[in-house]
């Protein structure tokens, strides 16, 4: 599943590619992709004729702001991709479920083989009402919501949860999934099952720094594309951060820090990769 670094990479590409473009037509080829709307026609009517004014991100969600205050929300799910086609004659990829055509030419296409992703339009907020109530459950953003390590410590101490489970809890911190949780915990030298309220002040500082630095470096390298290459950026290119992975998907290989062997266990129904020697 694309996580925060992959979604942020796409956000930055969209910023330069589609802001200021007016939507001419919207084609929905699979109604499941717009399932929050009463019909594909209803979804199309909320977008056609409007101009994209801003591109933001909330965790793993892309937020495409329209000039009338509405927001097109995109969640890539397990296998979703956004593709920028500058020529409408370019053949559409299999599993292309939504096609947005711009008046100035070109298209934005949503491709999703497994159909877990979705697109929906959130109404403009009324006076006194919060924006994007559909995403009100999300926790803090580890790249956008800068905080002191002391505040982070308070948040951790308020929970009694295994560290990996907590990092993946979107209501605690938005955007981190299985892959980056393993990488962050390796960088911090902490086990996946350490309780969040058991950390020393030094360990909290290490964890906060590892979280911010790991995600920032992954964004710099345009995200991770694994063997299936399901994640590709807006232009169809793979990411580069997978070559820097320290723990994730490295079972049986030597730890790059202590030369012990990276092991894999099942935790919470997911595979977890870590070094049993230098993560404590």
pLDDT in tens, 22-54: 999 999 999 999 999 999 999 999 999 999 999
Band (pLDDT 50/70/90 cuts) for residue 127 is confident
Report whether pLDDT(229) > 80: no
Q: What angle do CA 158, 155, 218 make, to 5 degrees?
A: 140
Long-range contacts for 271-279 (Cβ within 8 Å, ≥24 apart)? 271/178, 272/164, 272/178, 272/182, 272/192, 273/182, 273/247, 273/248, 273/249, 274/182, 274/185, 274/186, 274/191, 274/192, 274/247, 275/186, 275/247, 278/189, 279/185, 279/186, 279/189, 279/190, 279/191, 279/192
Q: Domain 149-275 belongs to what architecture?
A: Orthogonal Bundle (1.10)
> What are the domain boundaries of the chain?
4-135, 149-275
Q: Each residue of 163-188: pLDDT tens digit? A: 999 999 999 999 999 999 999 999 99
Confidence (pTM): 0.96
pLDDT, position 131: 87
**Class of domain 4-135 (CATH, top level):** alpha beta
Report whether pLDDT(145) > 90: yes
Pairwise CA distance, residues 93 & 88, whole Å: 12
Active site residues: 2-3, 60, 270
* Averaged pLDDT for residues 240-250: 97
């Amino acid at each position: 599943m694309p996580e925060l670094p992959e979604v942020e990479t796409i956000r930055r590409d969209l910023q330069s590619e589609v802001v200021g473009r007016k939507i001419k037509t919207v084609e929905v080829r699979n109604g499941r992709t717009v399932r929050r709307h009463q019909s594909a026609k209803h979804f199309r009517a909320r977008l056609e004729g409007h101009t994209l004014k801003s591109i933001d991100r909330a965790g793993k969600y892309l937020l495409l702001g329209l000039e009338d205050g509405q927001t097109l929300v995109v969640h890539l799910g397990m296998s979703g991709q956004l593709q920028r086609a500058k020529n409408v004659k370019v053949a559409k990829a299999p599993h292309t479920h939504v096609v947005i055509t711009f008046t100035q030419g070109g298209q934005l296409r949503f491709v999703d083989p497994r159909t877990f992703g979705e697109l929906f339009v959130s109404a403009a907020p009324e006076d006194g009402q919060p924006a994007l109530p559909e995403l009100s459950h999300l926790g803090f953003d580890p790249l956008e919501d800068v905080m002191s390590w002391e505040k982070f410590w308070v948040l951790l101490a308020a929970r009694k949860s295994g560290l990996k489970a907590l990092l993946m809890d979107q209501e605690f911190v938005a955007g981190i999934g299985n892959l980056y949780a393993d990488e962050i915990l390796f960088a911090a030298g902490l086990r996946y099952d350490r309780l969040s309220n058991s950390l020393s002040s030094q360990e909290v500082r290490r964890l906060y720094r590892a979280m911010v630095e790991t995600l920032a470096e992954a964004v710099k390298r345009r995200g991770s594309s694994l063997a299936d290459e399901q994640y590709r950026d807006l232009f169809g290119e793979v990411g580069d951060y997978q070559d820097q992975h320290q723990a994730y998907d490295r079972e049986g290989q030597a730890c790059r820090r202590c030369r012990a062997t990276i092991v894999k266990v099942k935790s919470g129904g997911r595979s977890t990769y870590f070094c049993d020697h230098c993560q404590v």
